[in-house]
Structure 1
Amino acid sequence: MIKLPSLWPWALVAVVSAAVGYGLAAKVGAGQTARAEAALARCEAGRAEDARAAADAAARLLARAQEAEASAAARLAERQAAFNKRLKEVKNEIYSLATGRECLSGALRLRLNAALAADDLPARPGGSRAAAAEPPADPGDSQAVSTDADIAGWILDAARLYDDCRARIDAIRHWDEVTRDGR
């Protein structure tokens, strides 16, 4: 009989080689895993830092907007109070200086009121019509007249409305400049 070589030494070499290979692969894999986990941790830390920075920037912007709103509201209130004080002084002067003489005849007053209530705007697209103009506040009497005090009062009311509008626009502009850093 022919003696067959024993397979035990080869099997032992195969098992040892596999164990060494598995150990090396695990060690290399663990190193790569550790590096990947470290890179992931750095990435997550960077994202968290970016999120904190964005939240801080948003909080600063909100605080600046609230300060600007408070400042604009205070400036608006001061401006309106100063204008109302001047308006009261001027009204008192006007009423003391007014002679009561006729400035606008009744017919002219009626014509001015009719011009204010005129609806000469073009028709709206789509077929719907605008609401009818309101009748004038003073339906008029052709015999009634407007005195110089009436005219002065109307002018002061128009000046007050204009100044209120201008003060509101200035307050909005101030708020916008502060919140946008002048952009």
Structure 2
Amino acid sequence: MVCDGNTPLETPVLTTRNAKIVTMTGVINAVSTLRCPGCHMIYRYKEWHDGLHNFNDYILLSLELCLHLRHSLQSHVSVSRVIDTLESLQVVKYPNRDTVLHAYCHFEALADLDYTYSCVNCGYHPPVVIMDLHKKGVFRMAVSDLKEPPSEFKGEVNIEEFWQSVDLEMVARGFVSSK
């Protein structure tokens, strides 16, 4: 359903009253998120000039926290350690580390970055998710669960296509549940 343009936006439909805004200085609880009353379209509020990144209407990250996480990962500090540090510093309980990681990956997947990082062993990689630790955090799959490649597979992979599919998976996690 598409709104006809005559929908009164002053009566939006409540998504939740229990959203959280996660920032460098703590967590703001009991935030309401809304959707269009006409079409009920899923629309993630992303007013970057307000400094917010909406992951799933229940968890919103401040852009300052997103950028801090980016620089932390580039300095080999995991998301969970950053959250541990912030909890200790602010004496506030932050959301689940995996949720924050997925929200941050969602932010990065939507960011327009030039991927200039390249490793002589690994090849083309995004500039942020480069450590084995972070790959384990994003790709939770046991080696025993991997299927054998088809017999015609020659070991060549289009790495740009692979990272684009990872980006799409991260974006999708903000809209649908994912395993």
TM-score scaled by length of structure 2: 0.23
Q: Larger radius of gyration, structure 1 or 2?
A: 1
TM-score by length of 1: 0.23
More helix by share: 1
